[in-house]
A and B are shown apart, each in its own frame.
Chain A
Amino acid sequence: MKMRQPAPESLWHRLSATGNLANRWLCGADASLSLEALTRASSLGSRLDELRGRSVLVTTKDQLPASVALIELDGIARRLILCPPDLPPEYVPSIIATASVDAVVGEPPAAEPRADSVACFVTCTASLAPGAPDRRAGEQTEWILLTSGTTGVPKLVVHSLSSLAGAIEGAVTRGSRAVWTTFYDIRRYGGLQILLRAMLGGGSMVFSSAREPVASFLVRAGKCGVTHISGTPSHWRRALMSQSTRGIAPCYVRLSGEIADQAILDHLRATYPQAYIAHAFASTEAGVAFDVGDGLTGFPASLTGELGTGVEMRVADGSLRIKSSRTAHGYLGSPAEPLHDADGFVDTGDMVELRSGRYYFVGRRGGIINIGGLKVHPEEVEAVINRHPCVQMSLVKARKNPITGAIVVADIVVDTAAGAPASEGLKSEILAACRQVLARHKVPTAIRFVPALEVSASGKLARPHA
């Protein structure tokens, strides 16, 4: 996996090459800094050199110091491990062992429990220390991202700056002065993509904060003049419940991480008529495969096969497989399980169906509900429910049943702005809409109106384990 090449191009060098540093900035909930300041100051005090060649765990709580640490350490550290803020502390020792971590970068106080077993702890803050940081790159840094699986120790997925930025070349207009933001945390693949787009595309970046309500974040983003914004469909469904969505006027809206159904695409189109609305397919392992900007759910079948675009997609056993230079290099660990099949494809586990020349996402392979031998993907039922104008979001799940093993039930959040009461009449309307397009066994047998649905730290609808 180690590829030592002379004078690698680091993130810092590439972002500097896009110029205009004086007018570009990174902005968190409590602090902000100009990119130009990094030419003569460091977030790591005077200790940047100590981290050369090391395997560095980045554990800051806030995104702003983490982003600066990543910018400063790419090309310097041998390996960067991005620790999401919600990572359960009990997983840290095994991550430290697997990734041979020999330095930790975090916020003060230095006596962070997460860092106990590692001798080298470097404090990282958004208040830069003046100095003359030596930014010569000597490493082809490995970027380690943690999978957001809901059970067990997360997998450590190995990327490089070139695999992470593979989809960005040509996708971003340099010098565009774009102001990017995302509901994602930048320690996750979807959020990191946005940071890299901002940094490599000549833009600036606003960070969300876990301590900040969605409405306040959107107000702040609006004040910062956000032009480009991304999130999962669940992030967006939650945001659209807030009037603050009117406080931003983005020209680019991006969805990824979950199925973008027609309802959410239509909602966003109505909310931001001036914006280009794209939904992307990407995962930590498979990288960014494609963006679709035609306003329709799913993607054209013409995107599959060998197109000479650097990304090859195919469908096998119903699931989408991806081969490209943007896929991760592998998993870290011993023995590391294979990430690619023999032909170099990553199986995404996302099931698709071909209808009239377009592929539609129907759900995850592991999420299937079995109704007496008949299969249901919760997502395909949710997509139908979400089309009802009074529905904000929904969760379809299995209820155990002694006759058929399971039956389908739905929890629904009603859009209070639509003015409809959560009534029996509304239930009947939603069920009638389901019966019109879904097979009988897929229609929910019970609907429950709930005030809210849990969205996980990775921005996805929290699904009960089957």
Chain B
Amino acid sequence: MSIRSDITTLFEQVAKEQDRKLAPLSDDLGLLESGLDSLCFAIIVARLEDVLGIDPFSTAEDIALPVTMGGFIKLYENAAAGA
């Protein structure tokens, strides 16, 4: 499983659990337009920490917060590469 597929699977899973309508996922998709709210992202970040063992939001010193799906995936890929 790649980080990308872990993330997309989690987006779909959490959207379903939280009864949210998820927009079609693409790298250009704005996170605010994804249909997910901050609670959904909080859950996704927590589960990614469990799966990947990393939480780039808490560990990186000066991160540029991602605004798109592609940016979100990149943040995790970079963190995993640096870990």
Q: Given A402-B58, A403-B57, A440-B18, A445–B38 Cβ distance below 8 Å?
A: no
The 10 A-B residue pairs with the shortest CB-CB distance in the complex, in nearest-first order: A402-B57, A403-B42, A404-B42, A445-B43, A401-B42, A402-B58, A403-B41, A407-B42, A403-B38, A403-B45
Among B39, B41, B45, the one with the most A-chain Cβ atoms within 10 Å of its Cβ is B39
Asked if B55 is at the interface (CB within 8 A of a chain A CB), the reply is: yes
Tell me whether A293 is interfacial, beta carbon within 8 Å: no
**Is B46 on the interface with A (CB-CB < 8 A)?**
yes
A372 B42 Cβ-Cβ under 8 A: yes
- Chain B contact surface mostly: helix
Contact A407 B18 (CB under 8 A): no
Given A401-B45, A404-B39, A407-B43, 12 more A-B residue pairs with CB atoms under 8 Å apart are A372-B38, A399-B46, A400-B58, A401-B42, A401-B46, A402-B45, A402-B57, A402-B58, A431-B17, A440-B18, A445-B43, A446-B47
Q: Could you say which residues of chain B place their CB within 8 Å of the CB of A440?
A: 18, 39
Residues from 411 to 444 in A contacting B, C-beta threshold 8 Å: 431, 440-441
Chain B, residues 13-26, CB within 8 Å of chain A (1/0): the string is: 00001100000000
Residues of A within 8 A of B47 (CB): 445-446
Q: Is the CB of B46 within 8 A of A371?
A: no
Contact with A along B43-54 (1 / 0, CB 8 A): 101110010000
Q: How large is the interface on B (under 10, 10 to 19, 20 to 34, 35 or more residues)?
A: 10 to 19
Interchain CB contact under 8 A, A371 and B39: yes
Contact residues in B for A401 (Cβ distance below 8 Å)? 42, 45-46
Minimal Cβ-Cβ distance residue in B for A374: B39
CB distance from A406 to the nearest CB of B (A): 8
Do residues B39 and A441 form an inter-chain contact, with CB atoms below 8 A?
yes
CA separation between A407 and B48, bound complex, in Å? Answer: 14
Q: Which A residue sits closest to B57, measured CB to CB?
A: A402
Interface residues of A (CB under 8 A from B): 371-372, 399-404, 407, 431, 440-441, 445-446
Residue from B18, B46, B47 with most neighbouring chain A CB atoms (10 Å): B46
Report B-chain residues with C-beta under 8 Å of the C-beta of A402: 45, 55, 57-58
B37: shortest Cβ distance to chain A, in Å?
A: 9
Do the beta carbons of A446 and B39 come within 8 Å of each other?
no
Contact A404 B38 (CB under 8 A): yes
Please, which residues of chain A bring their CB within 8 A of the CB of B38?
Answer: 372, 403-404
**Shortest distance between the CB of B56 and any CB in chain A (Å):** 9
- Cα A402 to Cα B60 in complex, Å, equals 11
Which of A399, A401, A431, A441 has the most chain B CB within a 10 Å cutoff? A401
- CB B35 to nearest CB in A, in angstroms, measures 14
Residues of B within 8 A of A371 (CB): 39, 42
* B56 to A, closest residue via Cβ: A402
Q: State the Cβ distance, A72 to closest chain B Cβ, in Å.
A: 57
Q: How far is the CB of A284 from chain B (nearest CB, A)?
A: 37
Which residues of B have CB within 8 Å of A404? 38-39, 42
Least distance between B67 CB and chain A CB atoms (Å): 14
Chain A residues whose C-beta falls within 8 Å of the C-beta of B43 in the assembled complex: 407, 445
Residues of A within 8 A of B41 (CB): 403
Question: Please, how many angstroms separate the alpha-carbon atoms of A326 and B27 in the complex?
Answer: 66
B26-83 contacts to A, CB under 8 A, are 38-39, 41-43, 45-47, 50, 55, 57-58
Closest partner residue, chain B, to A399 (CB atom): B46
* A399-B47 Cα distance, complex, nearest whole Å: 11
Closest to A409 in B: B46
- Residue of A400, A402, A404, A446 contacting most chain B CB atoms (<10 Å): A402
> Across the interface, which residues of B come within 8 angstroms of A431, CB to CB?
17
How far in angstroms is the closest Cβ of chain A from B58? 5
